[in-house]
Amino acid sequence: MNVNSVRLVLEGASRLHLNARNVGLLEAFYSSIQPQVFMEKEMILARNKRVQAGETSIPFSFVLDSKPGLQETYHGVYITTAYVLRVEAPRGLLSSTLSHEQELIVEIPGAGEGEEVCASRAVQNPSGSNRSTSAENVSTVRSPSERSVEPTVRFEITPASLENVDDAERSRIPRFAVLGHLDRLRCPLTCPLSGEVQVDVSEMPIQSIDLQLVRVESIEYAEGIAKEATEIQSLQIASGDVCREMAIPIHMPFPKLFTCASMRAQQFRVDFEINLLVTLGDNTIITESFPLQLYRPSL
């Protein structure tokens, strides 16, 4: 088989698109958001080559030079950062071009370590409706010595602590008390999220206790900033009416590709949150939300 050439192309870029429900159908269709290219490389491995039957190996090597702002591999809903190695072998006008793609996983030691750390005071919502839960964030910059010891984050959910609830609705909420802690909010991607949750009191039976990992993708465009939160994974840590005053461990690994070090780019950002959901017997959902700062440990 004859090929005109064997070409190797490496491209690394972040591609963004808007959610039509968020910004409108026309805006999402006509908004032109150019990909942010971090790496481009092209190499001709062979010209006018005859390939014998069987396996043919063509060695190659090149230096991976990146542009400023290199980001980790990440597959989101509205933001995707991918590094793709593609080989092409054109065979002339009457034959199709042979091609194959292989994605490279890029992990950057130290990514996210110097970012701001968010502490949260959660706002709970006991309603069984789809009403969302918000969190009040306080951003602080901490020195490396302060980051070496991450504080344990303790929480307590009771009817009195609930916000987004009026007094009339609060009086109808069954009595409950859910306590617990997270070992840290600044989490290395190589270690699972850990902690404990405990139901001290609940007048109503418990259906389940779940952990929900959420990505928050923000994209800057001509009309402002589009922000969208979507679920990455959900983990049930308890099913049924759990024993009272019994500590239930929290253990959630961070999935590759769908999580990365928290991103802060010129045109977009990617943040992460963890939601703790306690579902009562009447389908009332008690939620507490914590913003996470994910980072890649240095070598």
The verdict on 203 and 72 lying in the same domain is: no
Distance, in Å, from the CA atom of 288 to the CA atom of 299, rounded to the nearest integer, reads: 34
Q: Which of 69, 104, 139 marks a domain boundary?
A: 104
Q: Which of 79, 104, 129 marks a domain boundary?
A: 104
- Structural domain count, the chain: 2
Contact 252, 273 (CB under 8 A): no
In a domain, 130, yes or no: yes
Please enumerate in sequence order all residues whose Cβ is within 8 A of that of 294, keeping only pairs 6 or more positions apart, or say none. Answer: 112, 187, 188, 189, 254, 259, 260, 261, 262, 272
The verdict on 93 and 165 lying in the same domain is: no
Residue 144: predicted pLDDT:
46
Residue 22: predicted pLDDT:
62
Residue 267: predicted pLDDT:
86
Residue 4: predicted pLDDT:
73
In a domain, 110, yes or no: no
Residue 90: predicted pLDDT:
83
The verdict on 200 and 283 lying in the same domain is: yes
Residue 240: predicted pLDDT:
92
Greatest Cα pair distance in the chain = 82
Hey, CA dihedral for 205, 207, 211, 214, is it positive or negative?
Answer: negative
Tens digit of pLDDT per residue, the chain (299 long)?
676 778 899 999 999 888 766 655 555 555 567 888 888 888 888 787 777 777 778 888 877 777 778 899 999 999 999 999 999 888 877 778 888 999 999 998 888 887 654 443 333 343 333 333 333 333 344 444 444 557 889 999 888 887 777 788 888 888 899 999 999 999 999 999 999 999 999 999 999 999 999 999 998 877 778 888 999 999 999 999 999 999 999 999 999 999 999 998 888 999 999 999 999 988 888 888 999 999 999 87
Rg over CA atoms, the chain: 25
Q: What is the CATH number of the domain that holds 256?
A: 2.60.40.640
What pTM was estimated for this model as a whole?
0.79
The verdict on 153 and 262 lying in the same domain is: yes
Residue 279: predicted pLDDT:
93
